[in-house]
Amino acid sequence: MESLLAVLCVGVGLTLSLLTLKPRHRAPAWPPLHTNSNTCTDNKNCGDEVGSSTEQQQQQPCDVAKDLQELAAAAASTTIKETAEENEITAAEEKTIAADTVPSVMPNNKQTGEPDTEFSTFLNNEVETNAANKEYVNVAADMSEDAAGARAMSSKSTECSTTRQRRVLFVIAHPDDECMFFGPTILHFTQKEKAMVFLICLTNGSYNNAEIGRRRQRELWESCQLLGIPASHITLYKCEHLPDHPSKIWPVVNTANIINNHLHTLLCDMVITFDAGGVSGHINHRALHSSLCYLMEEQLLPPDCHVYTLDSVNVVRKYSSLMDLPYSLLFSSYVITLDTSQYCTIRSAMRAHASQYVWFRKMYMVFSRYVMINTLTAMIPSDLPHSAW
């Protein structure tokens, strides 16, 4: 018993000492952003866009800018050419007109004293010709303005391609999964990368208790606010075929369709969820991984959308806190850690789940590596399990 207490004291002391240090390892090297010409760069309206997988809508903004510049140049050239053809008057024609012009000092016919009809016809023709020339000049000016507007639009498209935010979707099964398991990764994207983070939770955590479900829903919103996820970026589902139950299997295709709808609607670059072990082994967690496997195997994911899963570890590593960091750095592809302030943020987010913050979860927040370290694995088609959906 004394030896066990000694080990716990050493672990707590080491954890507290390591928390005072900020991680020095390199940041994860995520895949480059695929810039979509239809992607909105306004954070207020991005959630209203609907994604598409057509080749035309996946055209790069740099190509769009180039096309707009060529279109503007062609429009200006065509306008000048048409104006020159319509208004072309040679020097010989000018001399002929000057010779045939009726002198302006002869407004009346000398024989009859009446107005000279030929002179009046000439004046009318001159007025119509001047009006036509003026109209062509105005058209040319308007086309020049359109060309300038096209060039400005191309410059804006090029600028937008360099300022586009990464879009990351977290898929969880229950309220409190976001801070118990994905806290370091969520804070990495909301604080360090300034990405647009979305979250969908497929149950309200009721577990046959409707009142608890409504309470946990409010707690999820409070927790996400502390983690930096806007309320408009959170979606919570309450479906009969997706119950919060540790022994009921979720239908893979239905679950996959819900996730895929969000991925296409939000034009996500990344989706992050549990791996095949579900971290805690919960059957609902593992169902999310199976659904992503289905989408990847059937090639239903949006183009250039990458899937990442949170690594499950054995129980010793799971409750070794920051002592698991050396092993994670050596054997994991994507390692995300946090500093002291971020650790406090995650603890505050967990406290927001007051209905779940009992004594064993308080212990979990002290000893679990997932509160301080997240290691991710990129899901690739060759790693998919062979399953008949």
pLDDT value at 80 more than 50: no
pTM, 2 dp: 0.65
Q: Any idea which of 153-162, 187-196, 214-223, 317-326 has the lowest mean pLDDT?
A: 153-162
Return the domain boundaries, the chain.
61-161, 166-383
Residue predicted with more confidence, 126 or 348: 348
pLDDT for 338-350, tens place per residue? Answer: 999 999 999 999 9
Contact 318, 382 (CB under 8 A): no
Q: With bands split at pLDDT 50, 70 and 90, how would you rate the model's confidence at 32?
A: confident
Kindly report the backbone phi and psi dihedral angles of residue 66, in degrees, each rounded to the nearest multiple of 5, phi listed first.
-65, -45
Q: Is 134 exposed, middle or buried (0-12, 13-18, 19+ CB in 10 A)?
A: exposed
pLDDT at residue 383, as a whole number? 74
SS3 content of the chain, % helix, strand, coil (to 5): 55, 10, 35
Which conformational region is residue 176 in: left (phi greater than 0), alpha (psi within -120 to 50 degrees), or beta?
left
**Which CATH fold would you assign to the domain 166-383?**
Rossmann fold (3.40.50)
pLDDT value at 363 more than 90: yes
pLDDT value at 206 more than 50: yes
pLDDT value at 245 more than 80: yes
